[in-house]
Amino acid sequence: MSSPSSGQSGPSSASALKKAFPHVDLDGHNLPPSPAPSSPNAGRRYALATELVYTEGSDQYNASSVPIYQTATFKQTSGSGGAEYDYTRSGNPTRTHLERHLAKIMSAQRALVVSSGMAALDVIMRLLRPGDEVVTGDDLYGGSNRLLTYLKTHGGIVVHHVDTTTPEKVQAVLNPKTAMVLLETPTNPLIKIVDIPKIAAFAHEANPNCLVTVDNTMMSPLLLNPLELGADIVYESGTKYLSGHHDLMAGVIAVNDPTLGERLYFPINASGCGLSPFDSWLLMRGVKTLKVRMDQQQANAQRIAEFLESHGFKVRYPGLRSHPQYELHHSMARGAGAVLSFETGDISLSERIVESAKLWAISVSFGCVNSLISMPCRMSHASIDAKTRKERAMPEDIIRLCVGIEDADDLIDDLRRALVQAGAVNVSLDGFQAVRPASD
């Protein structure tokens, strides 16, 4: 039998494959076993904090930590192959264990892991064909915007950027050619909230085959499950909260439709972007501590958001009652996350604050155990040109804080010192307030 990487063509060869190897897609391509929860289905379903940690494997030595199968190839039992694994590009036991575990915690039937969050989006975009239309937000992660721009220019994809925080604006551009709706919530860095159920209903009404795709990186499966809200595909950068330590790059895709899972597996196998065994093991280890990390990060973020708001800064964080979509966010999510942004009203002032911080590392990305600070328009969103940023009402002075697990008092003291050193506040005997109050 042909290996998953060699392929065959024609109806007869496809039939032979189906007979010899049951895990094949509609075109006769070999597939690894469809992932099932690594915890038993029968009996009690545990709370998510338990499910994150609890996993069962089939290791011959009953290792409590899944072994790393650091091998590129697997010996076969016959000349025609037929073993569960043959080549790590197509499948690896360590990766399969991780995928089954992620499917469980993401409320999915199948999860797939690849080399980065952008690789995950690239795999998803390969479902599209020239002439297909994509509706997405006007506050989109810079890397996602860059990939969509490339596909629009070179792949014949039509892209509509709209304010996804208003479902009716999305509905206005939906039509039978809309093949995908790509959402982020909260958006990054403007922290806008998107009504996933309502937009999903609009999209499926306009085109029953439309794929509602949600980037859930900002929330993680601990706080939000888009598949339970009407989404067809959910993906995340595993580099962020799922890993939590910024010592690996990974992307995760999750679906409930087995056929859709097969369609997504094909380009992963064909292009070789599946996650490596060692990174799969690292990600599996990181996922187990997701709750304890996120609980501390959220608690810290709440205190820091309240600190900044109380001193006159315009803060964007869904944990604040002042957020215009506070109720909507908490109708979908189980927490506010640990990313917030605030404005100073002056670009140079923001630059001085960022450069004056000590505990807050100047860095792109988020979700790490240590706290990060950045100016998105200079870093993570710099690939979006200034004209487009202005059209999308992206404040050039905005500062993004990605809160870690450090002591909250230390983080606030360091931020207070940076604000004073940068001249961002007026200090008096009664305390200090922003030089440019949010009301301005």
- Domain extents in the chain: 1-30, 41-287, 290-434
CB atoms within 10 A of CB 31: 18
Q: So what's the pLDDT on residue 425?
A: 93
Q: Report how far Cα 347 is from the mean position of its chain's Cα atoms.
A: 29
Question: End-to-end distance of the chain based on CA atoms, in angstroms?
Answer: 71
Task: Please tell me which residue in 141, 235, 241, 265 is annotated as part of the active site.
Answer: 141
425 pairs with which residues across the strands?
A: 434
Amino acid 392: pLDDT: 72
Determine the residue type at 137. Answer: G
Please give the pLDDT value at position 412: 98
* Cα 130 to Cα 135: distance, rounded to the nearest angstrom: 15
pLDDT of residue 59: 76
Question: Is residue 291 among the annotated active site residues?
Answer: no
Per-residue model confidence (pLDDT) at position 114: 98
The CATH number, out of the four listed (3.40.640.10, 3.40.50.720, 2.30.130.10, 3.40.50.300), of the domain defined by the range 41-287: 3.40.640.10
Closest residue by Cα to residue 48 from 219, 257, 245, 258? 219
Residue of 104, 110, 192, 240 marked active site: 240
pLDDT attached to residue 80: 81
* Whether 352 is catalytic: no
pTM of the model: 0.88
pLDDT value of position 440: 44
**In the prediction, which pLDDT does 268 show?**
97
Name the active-site residue from 139, 215, 232, 397.
215
Residue 440 is a catalytic residue: no
CATH code for the part of the protein at 290-434 = 3.90.1150.10
Q: Tell me whether residue 240 is one of the annotated catalytic residues.
A: yes
Domains 41-287 and 290-434 equal at CATH topology level: no
pLDDT tens, the chain, 440 aa long: 333 333 333 444 444 433 334 444 444 444 444 333 344 444 567 899 999 998 877 777 888 888 899 999 999 988 887 788 999 999 999 999 999 999 999 999 999 999 999 999 999 999 999 999 999 999 888 899 999 999 999 999 999 999 999 999 999 999 999 999 999 999 988 999 999 999 999 999 999 999 999 999 999 999 999 999 999 999 999 999 999 999 999 999 999 999 999 999 999 999 999 999 999 999 999 999 999 999 999 999 999 999 999 999 999 999 999 999 999 999 999 999 999 999 999 999 999 999 999 999 999 889 999 999 999 877 766 667 778 777 777 889 999 999 999 999 999 999 999 999 999 999 888 888 898 766 54
Identify the sign of the CA torsion 14, 270, 260, 1: positive
Annotated catalytic residue: which of 89, 100, 314, 436? 89
For residues 336 and 302, the answer to whether their CB atoms sit within 8 Å is yes
- The reported pLDDT for the residue numbered 66 is 85
